[in-house]
Structure 1
Amino acid sequence: MDDLSPEIQNHNNRPNRLIILAIGCVVVAFLILLNYAMISKEPTTASSGVVQVGKVAPDFTLQLFSGESLQLSSLRGKGIVVNFWASWCVPCRTEMSALNTIYASTNRNEIEFVGVNFWSMTESETAARNFVAEFSVEYPTGQDRSGNISLDYGVTGIPATFFIDDKGRVLKRWVGALDLDQLESLTSEIIPKN
């Protein structure tokens, strides 16, 4: 029986090859769909996530990379831009220049930015700190070590940016990379109107 001809041996391996090929195709299709979902540039608005547009943004305390801690509610009276990001996220890298530019040009008495490194279990603190250094991020930034901030905000894709008015209400929620014009326009909507 060990003397099977090469034709019979090759015939017996065909079903295994087809199964492996089918599994490979399913995995590739899943990864393509996952990638598309993560980099979608379409804004996600009122009906998505836990945080609803028009509702008060969940308060949180963020341990900043500077060693200080920041409580979101301490910024009441200002417009707030909260941006969720990760160092491995290509769209996050793409929008970082726009975030830095708008932050540098805004009046700190009117607008504040807060960067939240998404789910610390997806990357090390070192990788997050290196990202902040690489892009010279000057606004308060820290890591969501427990994942609770991301959960409270319903963040399922990044970058995710929340525009909060001076009364603490979420005016806009955007999932996907923002360009300079979009960010400037959305930030202007949360400037306090005193």
Structure 2
Amino acid sequence: MQFNSIIVQNENIYLLIGLLISYVMFYYGVRILKIERNIMDLIFNSFINGVLIWKLSYVVLHPQSVLQNPMNILYFNGGYVGIGIGILFIIIYTWLKIKKQNIPMDSYTRAVVPVYFGYFSAFVWIRVIEEPQNYPNILQAIVAVCFFILSSRFKSQKTLLQITIWFHLIQFEIALYKTKFVYAGIISKEVLVYISIIIIFLCISYWSEKQGRKKAAMDEKEGRRNVANNIALVAIILSLSITPILINQQETGRIVSPKTVMSNSFVSGKIGTNKGEVAPDFELRSISGNKVKLSDFRGKTVILNFWATWCPPCRAEIPEIQKFYEDKKNNNVEILAVNLTNSESSLNAVKEFVKDKGMTFTIVLDKKGETSNLYSIITIPTSYIIDKNGNIRDKYVGPMSYETMDRFITSIQ
């Protein structure tokens, strides 16, 4: 079997799709919404620069890793912290440009809200394609498209900001019921992102209304009453969303989502390499000469990783895997790395590589390529996330960062 190191990474796909969507939304704004070109230029440039900062924030957050292997910049990003840095940059950059170019805020809002919903709709539909059985993702996508259409029909800044707040409240509610993001008493990063965005838009809405009162010479007391009513409404909705979960936590000692309750239905019992199927068992010799079976690790959550020493992305993820293994090995987590030995120059080269990189997790040798064939491995690295019962819970093609592994493992434990 021939292998190559061309990696289909989610992040790189998103970057390419993001650029394509940017061009589509640019012309949508200019031709359909009749937005001034300089405003669409501002939106386009702020997004591109924000994405670059998100991608390059890995350098700031993991300088030692980059110094050891500069190629890591190509494979990893700053994760949720990087997203926060990117959003902060976009806010500051946009604010300065609006001031410098004297762009009316209502004109900017008229453009940016539909564009934002357009981006959101595109990316969430990508997730639906990746996981067509994930109904919360489908619901998120449908809601996003509806709000995109709705926002394109309004011109009032106040109305558009209110639509945006309601949109994120709905997305927040959906996120609360996704096992991947709410688990074991911990509120997830996605939920926190929605909370942060809601707060940001509430502040923008408050500021906008305050500015509008000044221009229209509205009664200040009446304006404050309206803002207070809006904030109260949001507080009520948030409390209605969170209260059932807190009650459930009090009764059971943990937060449980509907998807967790239905986890047994996720398992088909069929042996195969698709999500929900039982991972095919195999037996290989470890690098130390011992026989190792996948079934030996029943009772543990396993990351089954296929790799080779000549693969640059594999080299990039090895320090991340090693660090993750050192931190999680006492938490019922195991790394089982299948080396594609049939594609290596020699067995000694593999042993020297493992020793040089300080790899202490379990490494087995696929000398005949039978196991890689069994799992239909085309590109490497490819990893399967397997739960303690031996069921495949997820698959990831491309190098995994520490954060990616932690997200996968935490979502099923």
CA deviations on 1:13-51 (whole Å, 9 max, x unpaired) are xxxxxxxxxxxxxxxxxxxxx96x72221389679xx61
Residue of structure 2 equivalent to 1:22: none
Percentage of identical aligned residues? 30
Letter in 2 for 1:91: P
1:58 aligned to 276, 280, 286, which one? 280
TM-score for both structures, normalised by structure 2: 0.35
Instruction: Write out aligned runs for 1:113-192 (5 A).
Output: 113-191=335-413
Q: Flag the structure with higher helix content.
A: 2
Query: Cα RMSD over matched residues?
Result: 2.3
Q: Is the 8 A contact 1:62 1:70 kept in 2?
A: yes
TM-score for both structures, normalised by structure 1: 0.73
Report SS of the residue matched to 1:178: coil
Q: Is the 8 A contact 2:344 2:350 kept in 1?
A: no
Q: Which runs of 4+ in 1 moved over 4 A?
A: 43-47
Larger radius of gyration, structure 1 or 2?
Answer: 2
Structure 1 gap segments, 5+ residues each: 1-33
Q: Distance in 2 between matches of 1:150 and 1:163?
A: 16
Q: Higher relative CO (CA 8 A, sep ≥ 6), structure 1 or 2?
A: 1
Q: Distance in 2 between matches of 1:139 and 1:99?
A: 9
Q: Give the paired residue count.
A: 155
Structure 2 gap segments, 5+ residues each: 12-128, 133-271
Residue of structure 1 equivalent to 2:303: 81
Q: Is the 8 A contact 2:382 2:396 kept in 1?
A: yes
Q: Is the 8 A contact 1:119 1:147 kept in 2?
A: yes
Q: Flag the structure with higher strand content.
A: 1
Superposition deviation, residue 109 in structure 1: 5.6
Q: Distance in 2 between matches of 1:109 and 1:60?
A: 24
Q: Distance in 2 between matches of 1:176 and 1:136?
A: 21
Residue of structure 2 equivalent to 1:4: none
Superposition deviation, residue 119 in structure 1: 4.6
1:38 has 2:260 as partner: no
Q: Is the 8 A contact 2:309 2:350 kept in 1?
A: yes
Superposition deviation, residue 159 in structure 1: 0.3
Q: Distance in 2 between matches of 1:178 and 1:141?
A: 17
Superposition deviation, residue 131 in structure 1: 1.9
Superposition deviation, residue 190 in structure 1: 3.8
Q: Distance in 2 between matches of 1:154 and 1:164?
A: 16
Superposition deviation, residue 111 in structure 1: 1.1
**Structure 1 pair 134/57, CA: closer, same or farther in 2 (3 Å)?**
same
CA deviations on 1:37-68 (whole Å, 9 max, x unpaired) are 72221389679xx6101100010112001111
Q: Distance in 2 between matches of 1:159 and 1:181?
A: 16
Q: Distance in 2 between matches of 1:162 and 1:53?
A: 9
